[in-house]
Amino acid sequence: MQIFIVGDATNLEEARQKFGSVHRVEFAQDPLSITKEDVLFDFTIHDHAGRIAIYLQSAGSIFLNCSFVSLRTLGVDRKLFGFCGLPTLFNRSLLEVSCARPEDQEGMKQVLTSLGTAYGMVADQAGMAAPRIIARIINEAYAALEDGTATREDIDLAMKLGTNYPWGPFEWCERLGRNHVIRLLNAAYRESGDERYKPSN
């Protein structure tokens, strides 16, 4: 199976780490030339929603990064799938995915099985599931730092020891990218109105 990437060199490298031992992974040149056996992951759809019209004409299986926007917000009501494309959260054992319609789940399952990846179906919402949780933890850590509760290092250490997470909230923020975390929090806040997503200073 051929996998095409729309994104940057970091996205391509992470996709190669995840799928490259079994599948050919390269940058997409022309989405309309993708065959029905091919898969495309668009990591930057949130900044280029106009591509959706092209993707709807494609014969391939198209996955859109829903870390900052839901399929619903993009106006997708068929055929296209969502995935979590944040750094460190794409290349892991379980790929978070979503779809606009329940009847599309079986087709998506077949594609993901062919790719050889385990997956978790989550609600169609900006930030998906794990990224929302991690972003809230990071947000709370910044609030605790502002309050003078503890130092960055102590908060990171407490989180790792207390939850057995691989990184503390500030370390995770560094890996995800602070701009990505803020963008995710803003998107989740706009979509839900939940104050817990309102970015801390």
- Sheet of 2-6: strand order equals 24-27, 2-6, 39-42, 61-65, 81-83, 94-99, 118-121
Q: What's the rounded mean pLDDT across residues 87-113?
A: 94
- Residues 21-49 pLDDT 10s: 899 999 998 888 888 899 999 999 999 99
Q: What CATH number has the domain spanning 2-121? A: 3.40.50.720
Residue 200 is predicted with a pLDDT of 86
- Residues 143-155 pLDDT 10s: 999 999 999 999 9
The Cα 142–Cα 38 span in angstroms is 42
The Cα 168–Cα 181 span in angstroms is 14
CATH superfamily name and code, 130-197: N-(1-d-carboxylethyl)-l-norvaline Dehydrogenase; domain 2 (1.10.1040.10)
Q: Assign 172 a pLDDT band (cuts: 50, 70, 90).
A: very high
Is there a contact between 81 and 97 (Cβ–Cβ < 8 Å)?
yes
Residue 33 is predicted with a pLDDT of 85
Q: How far is CA 12 from the centre of its chain?
A: 14
Residue 153 is predicted with a pLDDT of 97
Residue 34 is predicted with a pLDDT of 87
Angle of helix 130-147 versus helix 152-163 axis, rounded to 10: 140
76 or 13, which is more confident: 13
- Residues 37-83 pLDDT 10s: 999 999 999 999 999 999 988 889 999 999 999 999 998 877 899 99
Percentage of the chain beyond pLDDT 90 is 85
- Residues 108-140 pLDDT 10s: 999 999 999 999 999 999 999 999 999 999 999
Residue 160 is predicted with a pLDDT of 94
21 to 4, 43, 95: CA distances (angstroms) = 15, 21, 17
Residue 75 is predicted with a pLDDT of 87
Q: Which pairing describes strands 94-99 and 118-121: parallel, antiparallel, or unpaired?
A: parallel
Q: Assign 201 a pLDDT band (cuts: 50, 70, 90).
A: confident
Q: Give me the residue spans of the domains in the chain.
A: 2-121, 130-197
Q: Would the pLDDT of 96 be above 90?
A: yes
The Cα 156–Cα 135 span in angstroms is 14
